[in-house]
Structure 1
């Protein structure tokens, strides 16, 4: 019996042969890549990437420095603002205390005028008010400047009279005409004094 060939089988063999021939032709037509050219291209790309990386790194450093400077400036601004607020509140408190100082002076004069009176309820009332006012001023940080028998200090005292006395040392305050006060280390009123030269 003779074996019959089916047309599909012949086509299949022909296709396989054609495929192999085509592959061989394509392999022979493909140009070979030259290694030296490829290396140069890769090296160029690497150099470009390195340059870009350095540029971006420099930009990052610049941004970091800018952020640090801005943070430092903001911190300084906050500190400066706090100091300004404290100075403003101190100035306002000093102005308020300055308006009360004449009242303190008058109460001291009243107490001094009533020194000779014994068991006088008016004198006791004035002394009580005086103590209470001084306590309030003390709580605000107001302190009287000690002047008599102390060396003259132009930062605390205002000399309105000068006398000469060899028995007392030089530049010593011998009399106080008006009491001076400081508030939290700042002079709010200078003492008016008489100084020995």
Structure 2
């Protein structure tokens, strides 16, 4: 009898375990269905996703705007430096022209002329160091972008629209024209 009782207890225990497992499975299924239903029915989750997408879009736009601002200010700094350098050099050029005229003047005092030559050479070296170059004009084709024609000469020794005389040298800083060359142009 005790064997029957043990068997009965085992059957009862087995049925109880199966019932518990079935109940747990149903509960898990219902919980998952309720969770899916809540997510589908719950506008909060979709609202949060939309809000997250909106905030991400705002962030990306702000980042792009800042990057453009950084590039623009960097470009403006470079342009401001170029403008300031060009203006400063343009103010110094008349003094350099005067030193050149002083070198061309006739004088018997060689020490005076050597002093002027030394100062002129120093100024030329400074201009080269900062990137200023003289615009070659004599015997070059006339280019209104770099030359300023103040006189026309009929001379068969030069080709048509060729610079035949330079009255004032022109200078450039990189690609920027600081001063145009004042020239005479030959017309055949």
Structure 2 segments unaligned to the other structure (5+ residues): 1-29
Q: Which has the larger radius of gyration?
A: 1
> What stretches of structure 1 of length at least 5 have no aligned partner?
1-37
After TM superposition, the score normalised by the length of structure 2 is 0.74
Quote the offset at 1:44 in angstroms: 4.2
Asked if 1:124 is matched to 2:133, the reply is no
**What are the Cα deviations for residues 115-146 of structure 1, in whole angstroms up to 9, with x where unaligned?**
x86x8111111111100011111122211111
2:168 corresponds to 1:178: yes
Q: CA deviation at 1:74?
A: 0.8
2:73 corresponds, among 61, 66, 81, to 81
1:108 aligned residue (88, 92, 100): 100
**Which TM-score applies when normalising by structure 1?**
0.71
Q: Is the 8 A contact 2:39 2:45 kept in 1?
A: no
Size of the aligned set, in residue pairs, is 156
**Partners of 2:144 and 2:134 in 1: CA distance:** 16
CA shift at 1:54, angstroms?
Answer: 3.5
**Do 2:153 and 2:184's aligned partners in 1 also have CA atoms closer than 8 Å?**
yes
Q: Tell me, what secondary structure is at the counterpart of 1:54?
A: helix
Corresponding residue for residue 155 of structure 1: 145
| One of 134, 141, 145 as aligned partner of 2:124 | 134
Partner residue, 1:47: 40
State the Cα RMSD in Å. Answer: 2.2
Provide the secondary structure at the position in 2 that maps to 1:158: strand
Runs of 4+ displaced beyond 2 Å:
41-46, 51-59, 164-168
Change (3 A) 1:128 1:46: closer
Partner residue, 1:22: none
Q: Using the alignment, how far apart are the partners of 2:151 and 2:95 within structure 1?
A: 25
Give the Cα separation in 1 of the matches to 2:41 and 2:164. Answer: 87
| Residues 137-180 of structure 1: CA deviation (Å, up to 9, x unaligned) | 11222111110011111111100011233442221111100011
Give CA deviations for 1:19-67 in whole Å, capped at 9, x if unaligned: xxxxxxxxxxxxxxxxxxx89x936424214x54333223222211211
1:93 correspondence with 2:85: yes
* Alignment check: 8 A CA contact 2:168 2:181 kept: yes
